[in-house]
Amino acid sequence: MNVIPSPRDRAASLFQEQWTIYRKMVDNNYLFHHEAYGCLRDLILRNAPRGFSFLDVACGDARGTIGVLDGTPIGRFIGIDLSAPALAVARKTTATLDCPVDLIESDFRTALKSIKGQIDIAWIGLSLHHFANDQKLPILAQLRHLVGREGLVVFYENASPDGEDRDQWLQRWDLQQSLWTALTPVEWHAVRDHVRSSDYPETRSAWIALGHLAGFSQIEEMMVSPTDLFRMFALRA
């Protein structure tokens, strides 16, 4: 078993200590949040029942999801994140929602086990890749349990085309440096160090295989980022 030491500490560090850098990356759409969250909104509008429950796994400041949920008939919002500063912002961001909001400060692997009730849509944006392949499976299986037969799990994560290994994916990540002009060299290297120590992409086929092993039978690739560094999948029982 490939166990990566201290994922909690490493994975949370970029958000907790380098919040400004991550916001810069999002605000400049370097990770294609605009397209990913647009795709998520389309999925919600097409699939979510009136009064639907939405689970945001590793919600961060919830700024992306709040734009997605605007004007939808949401009935319950649950967000989970390790980072207290991120959740402090999320508390303000989600105050505009006209439904019960539950923000949980916890490792989502623990928090997911204590969530009660049906989840209609579970979303993970750029967080599952902090885990090794065999550590991703129980998380997806827990989400499959939470959404039951009717719900939907959607994730947008680091991904490779089939045949590419992690080193090759990291080499392609490095090609972003000349394009990410909003980052100073120090900021770029902070992000690069984080990605090299904490990010574990899966190939397209490996993500789909994990989904099947977790108990999903319908798995649809919804989006590939223009850089081909990230992919979005929608999974149903």
Q: What are the backbone angles phi and psi of residue 229, rounded to the nearest 5°?
A: -95, -15
- Candidates 52-60, 173-181, 183-191, 224-232: pick the segment binding ligand SAM (CB under 6 A): 52-60
Strand, coil or helix: 92: helix
Whole-angstrom distance, CA of residue 187 vs CA of residue 180: 10
Whole-angstrom distance, CA of residue 29 vs CA of residue 185: 18
Between the two ends of the chain, the Cα-to-Cα distance in Å is: 27
CB distance 141 to 109 below 8 Å: no
8: contact with ligand SAM by CB under 6 A: yes
CB distance 11 to 204 below 8 Å: no
Whole-angstrom distance, CA of residue 216 vs CA of residue 222: 16
Using the rule CB under 6 A, which residue among 80, 121, 143, 235 binds ligand SAM? Answer: 80
Using the rule CB under 6 A, which residue among 4, 35, 107, 224 binds ligand SAM? Answer: 107
Using the rule CB under 6 A, which residue among 79, 125, 151, 201 binds ligand SAM? Answer: 125
Residue from 20, 89, 31 nearest 59 by CA: 89
Using the rule CB under 6 A, which residue among 64, 79, 151, 211 binds ligand SAM? Answer: 64
Whole-angstrom distance, CA of residue 146 vs CA of residue 175: 38
Give min distance, CB of 56 to ligand SAM, in A: 7
Q: Tell how strand 218-224 and strand 230-236 pair up.
A: antiparallel
Using the rule CB under 6 A, which residue among 97, 103, 126, 147 binds ligand SAM? Answer: 126
| Choice between 162 and 195, CB closer to ligand SAM | 195
115: contact with ligand SAM by CB under 6 A: no
| Choice between 18 and 237, CB closer to ligand SAM | 18
Give min distance, CB of 206 to ligand SAM, in A: 20
Using the rule CB under 6 A, which residue among 21, 32, 52, 81 binds ligand SAM? Answer: 81
Interface with ligand SAM (CB under 6 A), residue total 21
Using the rule CB under 6 A, which residue among 83, 142, 176, 225 binds ligand SAM? Answer: 83
Residue from 149, 167, 16, 35 nearest 86 by CA: 16
Sites of contact with ligand SAM (CB under 6 A):
8, 11-12, 15, 26, 58-60, 64, 80-83, 86, 107-109, 125-127, 130
